[in-house]
Amino acid sequence: MDERIIKTEYSEVMQKSYIDYAMSVIIARALPDVRDGLKPVQRRTLYDMYELGIRYDRPYRKSARIVGDTMGKYHPHGDSSIYEALVVMTQEFKKGLPLIDGHGNFGNIEGDGAAAMRYTEARLQRITQEAFLADLDKNVVDFIPNFDETEQEPSVLPVRIPNLLINGAEGIAVGMATSIPPHNLEEVINAVRAYIQNPDIDTAGLMKYIKGPDFPTGGIIINKSELREIYETGMGKVKVRGKVGTEKGKGGRINLVITEIPYPMIGSGISKFLSDVAALAETKKTADIVDISNQSSKEGIRIVIELRKDADVENFKNMLYKKTRLEDTFGVNMLAISQGRPETMGLKEIIKASVDFQFALMERKYTTLLAREQEKKEIQEGLIKACNVIDLIIEILRGSRDRTMAKNCLVEGKTEGIRFKSKESQVMAQMLRFTERQANAILEMRLYKLIGLELDALVKEHEETLANIYRYEDILERRDSMATVILQELEALKKAYGRKRRTVVEDGVEAVFAEKKPEEMDVVFLLDRFGYARTIDMAAYERSREAADGENCFVFSCKNNGRICLFTDTGTLHTIKVMDVPYGKFRDKGVPLDNISNYDSATEQIVYAADQRELHLRRVVFVTKLAMVKIVDGGEFDVAKRMVAATKLQEGDAVIGVTTLREQRDIVLQTAGGYFLKFSLEEIPEKKKNALGVRGMKLDEGDLVEAVYYTDAGTEYKIPYKSKSLDLQKMKIGKRDTRGTKVRA
């Protein structure tokens, strides 16, 4: 076997391979087709259930059987993705029109997952059979080979309704994602009717029928005026609020009752909402909450918040909209596969694609039906004609040696070898000219068909066939007739499966609430060596001053409405609101800084912490391990951003010391190699925070600064070094950017 070595650029191979992979994910897995509104895994699951005969009027079958059969025949991408798709198609709180009837635990709106597939059962919904899988036997869609070419599967299901709009879709592909909200079936069908009757209708015209998304969870859409732009561009944000009412509680209190939630809040969002409401009380953002309880059940959502007697209900409700997910946004990106490629489509484009698909289905369906009726007509005419000369045909059959001889006589009038009773019969037989299909039907006809009533039924059936042919030809030749058929089917589906809108659409008033500012007070900020922060009142600190100073890395007073600045070894400044730091007792554990800021304890280390107001009045000294030093005006760190660059660093450098200047006069740098250099702080120039600084000390190769000390006038300052004690006050003053003095053990 000859071998050929193909030389190519590695980057080109990688690029092509990645593009192939990306397109495979986009087309074959993640995005729905605009025609049937289904992803491949959904389409294959429904078709497999149809093939297995798991219909709405038959017993449920184990989900594991459905998943295994789908994976083995059509979707070789793992059982979890198939079962997840099956579960979602059963959930009424996710789909406006569930396509599968589930029996067992298929999860709930509060985020509890479905039971394992071996425990649950499923079957098709009635509408799925009638509107998604009907007419597959009429050549309405193309069938393609499955992954191993042992089976055939439909490239698209013959869906009669714009499922992409009715059920919506969500999916993440490579470099793109789709997010289409569900809509009301009645409204969508009304819009389709309007489009068929007037293809020039614009988006505003369609929105007379489609008021907006209709979420299964209800809720209130509050940006009605923005929906037109969303529907025209296919992109935007829908703002949704939960439905909140009031009830009289015990002791004259008022209860807020949430009976509908925003669609994005389904799942774990409900428990997050409950914890967020509880946090409002714990952090003293509001004192109106007495109790909160989740009384939701199979009957629906019911979350009760008990308020104080004198609570401002409207203000509290607005606070929930602002501070929790009771008001949320649904990001719309109406991306779907259209003509084999991903495309972001507006409302009219989706309806047009669906209507075009309906006409294509109808054309193929009635072309197939017409061919079948014409075949029946041919056979019926042959049988009627045969009944008129039945004696001659019986004579031909009795006189023929085999079926072929009889058939040749019926089709071509060949009489050679056939025994006739008379010459007249032979002449009449030679005049017969039945078609092949008619001849086969005559030869297979049973004698009871010769009964008078059977002959009458045959004639009546022939008349019905002629009427069907006339009707089918009219439908195929006249678009108006086909449109009438489509609209009649849509009206029947609307009548059978339509329901009232659940989501209210309006232009809501912006939620405004007067947040009570906390009374300003002095607190003490404590940060321990494990990165846990907390604040305590001044009195508690005074009572435990020695323990607080000994157990914590940073201890300083600040205002409860101020900010804390945290400097790290990576040259980054993190700021946190003091209000975000838990306020409590001295022995409380506190909260990790990672949870309330962008600080990452795994990649950086805090070298200094200070009150932002205090920092604003001071100058700040920076020292790095490569001996770079500078002074920065503390006002440069008066920022509101959660994270900014505090200083510029060379590659391989890190900040080892930051401090604010007060009474300090001299600085002492200590290296890992045992060198000490003491020089005046006046030698360090003032720079901007984004400057590199100047060299404070000459380092031997491989040596690094590992400690920084500061001295002031007249105060003794001794440090332990190896086996001796060094008095930094008595250390000789040197010059910046010199080598310093080697201190030996």
What is the C-alpha separation between 114 and 67, in angstroms, rounded?
Answer: 14
Among 55, 26, 31, 52, CA closest to 42? 31
What is the C-alpha separation between 463 and 454, in angstroms, rounded?
Answer: 14
What is the C-alpha separation between 686 and 565, in angstroms, rounded?
Answer: 20
Catalytic residue status for 119: yes
* 363 neighbors 448 (Cβ within 8 angstroms): no
What is the C-alpha separation between 108 and 65, in angstroms, rounded?
Answer: 23
Scored b (16 or more CB within 10 A) or e, 255-274 reads: bbbbebbbbbbbbebbeebb
Six token digits for residue 159: 């869906």
Residue 347: CB atoms within 10 A of its CB come to: 26
Residue 310: CB atoms within 10 A of its CB come to: 8
439: burial class by Cβ within 10 Å (0-12, 13-18, 19+)?
buried
Which one of the listed residues 47, 119, 321, 470 is annotated catalytic? 119
Non-local CB neighbours of 547 within 8 Å, separated by 6+ positions: 586
* 729 neighbors 723 (Cβ within 8 angstroms): no
Six token digits for residue 264: 């994005």
E runs forming strands in 467-583: 504-505, 522-528, 532-537, 552-559, 563-568, 572-577
Q: Which helix (H) or strand (E) holds 457?
A: helix 452-477
Non-local CB neighbours of 13 within 8 Å, separated by 6+ positions: none
What is the C-alpha separation between 378 and 407, in angstroms, rounded?
Answer: 16
Looking from the CA of 710 toward its CB, the CA atoms found within 13 Å total 16
Report how far apart, in Å, the C-alpha atoms of 332 and of each of 234, 239, 295, 335, 344 are: 7, 11, 31, 9, 10
Identify residue 190 by its one-letter amino acid code: N
SS3 of residue 353 by DSSP: helix
Non-local CB neighbours of 265 within 8 Å, separated by 6+ positions: 217, 242, 273, 325, 326, 328
Sign of the Cα torsion 152, 158, 163, 167 reads negative
Among 460, 481, 458, 480, CA closest to 470? 481
117: burial class by Cβ within 10 Å (0-12, 13-18, 19+)?
buried
- Angle at alpha carbon of residue 402, lines to 398 and 407, rounded to 5°: 85
* 619 neighbors 689 (Cβ within 8 angstroms): no
E runs forming strands in 249-324: 254-260, 289-294, 303-307
SS3 of residue 622 by DSSP: strand
List active site positions.
119
